[in-house]
Amino acid sequence: MTLDDAQNPDNNLLLTSTTGKSIFSMGWPAFHSITPNIKEEGAMKEDSGMQDTPYNENALVEQLDLCVDYLWKSERFELIAEVSKPVIAVFEKQRDFKRLSELYYNIHRSYLKIAEVVNAEKRLFGRYYRVAFYGQGFFEEEEGKEYIYKEPKLTGLSEISQRLLKLYADKFGADNVKIIQDSNKVNPKELDSKIAYIQVTYVTPYFDEKELMDRKTDFEKHHNINRFVFETPFTLSGKKHGGVEEQCKRQTVLTTSHSFPYVKKRIQVVNQTSTELNPIEVAIDEMTKKVQELQQLCTMDDVDMIRLQLKLQGSVSVKVNAGPMAYAREFLTESNSRNYPESQVRHLKEIFRQFADTCGLALEVNGRLIKEDQLEYQEEMKSHYREILTELSEVMNEQIPYREELAKQQGAERPCTLRSVSRTYPSLQSSSSKADS
């Protein structure tokens, strides 16, 4: 059934009387903005016993009121107004202005709560893991299939791994189950047929550039999501890790059949694509993430000083052969940069200019928030920042100004914005495959 079909009230009635007459013509599309999973409800046929149980407007209101209560408890405040829309329609039809005023007040409270928490990053929306099963003799029809598991709050990799290990050890025997915790591609032919293997990999929600334009908040980045990504480091020499000049990585994007949140805690993976990044592309990707993380911390309404200082320290106070400057030395010096595509070198240079500016912004924010006992720490960070700017100027063969000096030159602080970074590189190798259905 298509969405157009669903708009026909004769096809999809949210409520019908026992005689089959429509008493409320808003079908499942009324909830489509809340979850795209609702479409499968529209394709379901009514059970033969449905007419035996009266389902009227009051029953609808009662169920949606219960839903709103759970939304408050789960801190999904953004959905309260949407869930309340059918209730508003019922109360308007009934001319129940008192309950309408109470409902609008509740919606008002939900928006106040959203304004309070939207950028605080205090809500824990859960973590996601890819779980794959190998062993025909054990998993039968699930052998070779992959699922995304949604786990509550801060569930760690070891926690979900141990839980799955115990679950299947109880079923197959402790000696017959093993956990694969690396993210490398598994060749089932190389596995012991007498062992049930479970591969567990931490994944994060994946969005392309267009999606990121629309998904600004933490809630939006954890609601109605069906694509997830994980990264696997490798080198062409066969080692997993190497120097920045040889470090590559593979980004694997998984697509699920339905979107989270869902009525089940796991959803099957139906498509998989992988992209390989060469060393300079790895540098571009890593530095972009670093700049974005710092900018996000600097622009929060309620700045998390501990996280800000940790990120700042990791950016400007690093070992000689590690961190951002390792990328700069390898890819941006005049002699080394000739070994890489000119467009990628220019791209990385621009990111480093933004990195320098963002570190200066972070120092300013930190300086405004610290107390007297951290003044020495602030001066130390400033000293490291100047050292990095000096070296970066030499490496890039251009003057990278100190943020305060630049502000004085321009008469005002320039806004610190990050140009969107394209992940489409001409040298990337991509592959796509349908998961076993």
Q: Which residue has the higher pLDDT, 32 or 3?
A: 32
Strands 177-180 and 146-151: unpaired
Share of the chain above pLDDT 70, in %: 82
- Cβ contacts of residue 396 below 8 Å, gap of 6+? 328, 332, 349, 352
Q: Which of 46-55, 156-165, 338-347 has the lowest mean pLDDT?
A: 46-55
pLDDT tens digits, one per residue of 161-196? 999 999 999 999 999 999 998 898 899 989 999 999
Q: Which residue has the higher pLDDT, 422 or 232?
A: 232
CA–CA dist 368, 8 (Å, integer)? 58
- The amino acid that residue 11 corresponds to is N
What residues does 260 pair with on adjacent strands? Answer: 225
Q: Note the pLDDT of residue 213.
A: 87
Give the residue from 53, 44, 57 showing the smallest Cα distance to 18: 53
Residue 34 to residues 2, 40, 81, 82, 209, Cα–Cα distance (Å): 18, 14, 10, 7, 22
Alpha-carbon dihedral 8, 11, 17, 22, rounded to 10 degrees? 20
Show the beta-strand stretches assigned E in 206-322: 225-235, 247-260, 266-277
Share of the chain above pLDDT 90, in %: 61
Q: Please check whether residue 252 is in contact with residue 435, taking contact to mean a CB–CB distance below 8 angstroms.
A: no
State yes or no: pLDDT of 18 exceeds 70. Answer: no
Q: Note the pLDDT of residue 216.
A: 85
Q: What backbone torsions phi and psi does residue 104 show, to the nearest 5 degrees?
A: -65, -35
At residue 27 the predicted structure's pLDDT band, cuts being 50, 70 and 90, is confident
374 secondary structure, DSSP code: G
pLDDT tens digits, one per residue of 56-101? 888 889 999 999 999 999 999 999 999 999 999 999 999 999 999 9
Is residue 413 packed enough to be buried (19+ CB in 10 Å), middle (13-18) or exposed (0-12)? middle
What residues does 274 pair with on adjacent strands? Answer: 252, 431
Residue 4 to residues 12, 28, 29, 31, 42, Cα–Cα distance (Å): 11, 12, 10, 15, 11
Is residue 288 packed enough to be buried (19+ CB in 10 Å), middle (13-18) or exposed (0-12)? buried
Going 15 to 16 to 17 to 18, the CA torsion angle's sign is: negative
Q: Note the pLDDT of residue 421.
A: 39
Work out the average pLDDT over 198-216.
Answer: 92
Q: Note the pLDDT of residue 33.
A: 85
Q: Note the pLDDT of residue 22.
A: 46
Q: Which residue has the higher pLDDT, 282 or 427?
A: 282
Q: Please check whether residue 351 is in contact with residue 421, taking contact to mean a CB–CB distance below 8 angstroms.
A: yes
Residue 382 tokens, joined: 């400033």
Work out the average pLDDT over 132-157.
Answer: 93
Residue 145 tokens, joined: 């299939």
Angle subtended by helix axes 279-298 and 324-332, to nearest 10: 140
Work out the average pLDDT over 97-120.
Answer: 93
pLDDT tens digits, one per residue of 43-67? 666 555 555 566 788 888 999 999 9
Alpha-carbon dihedral 131, 135, 136, 141, rounded to 10 degrees? -10
Work out the average pLDDT over 256-266.
Answer: 95
Q: Please check whether residue 247 is in contact with residue 282, taking contact to mean a CB–CB distance below 8 angstroms.
A: yes
Q: How far apart are the first and last CA of the chain?
A: 22
Q: Enumerate domains of the chain plus CATH numbers.
A: 23-44+54-116 (1.25.40.410), 127-277 (no CATH), 283-408 (1.20.58.740)
State yes or no: pLDDT of 338 exceeds 70. Answer: yes
Three-state DSSP at 254 gives strand
Q: Which residue has the higher pLDDT, 365 or 44?
A: 365
Q: Please check whether residue 355 is in contact with residue 315, taking contact to mean a CB–CB distance below 8 angstroms.
A: yes
Work out the average pLDDT over 250-257.
Answer: 96
Q: Which residue has the higher pLDDT, 207 or 54?
A: 207
Q: Please check whether residue 428 is in contact with residue 279, taking contact to mean a CB–CB distance below 8 angstroms.
A: no
Work out the average pLDDT over 264-278.
Answer: 96
Q: Which of 106-110, 147-151, 209-213, 427-431 has the lowest mean pLDDT?
A: 427-431
Mean per-residue pLDDT over the chain, rounded: 84
Residue 219 tokens, joined: 């809630």
CA–CA dist 431, 390 (Å, integer)? 42
Q: Please check whether residue 131 is in contact with residue 147, taking contact to mean a CB–CB distance below 8 angstroms.
A: yes
Going 147 to 152 to 154 to 158, the CA torsion angle's sign is: negative
Q: Note the pLDDT of residue 435.
A: 44
Q: Please check whether residue 275 is in contact with residue 428, taking contact to mean a CB–CB distance below 8 angstroms.
A: yes
State yes or no: pLDDT of 422 exceeds 60. Answer: no
Is residue 281 packed enough to be buried (19+ CB in 10 Å), middle (13-18) or exposed (0-12)? buried
Q: Note the pLDDT of residue 31.
A: 86
State yes or no: pLDDT of 6 exceeds 70. Answer: no
Q: Note the pLDDT of residue 321.
A: 55
Q: Note the pLDDT of residue 430.
A: 42
State yes or no: pLDDT of 359 exceeds 90. Answer: yes
Strands 177-180 and 196-205: parallel
Task: Let me know how long the chain is.
Answer: 437
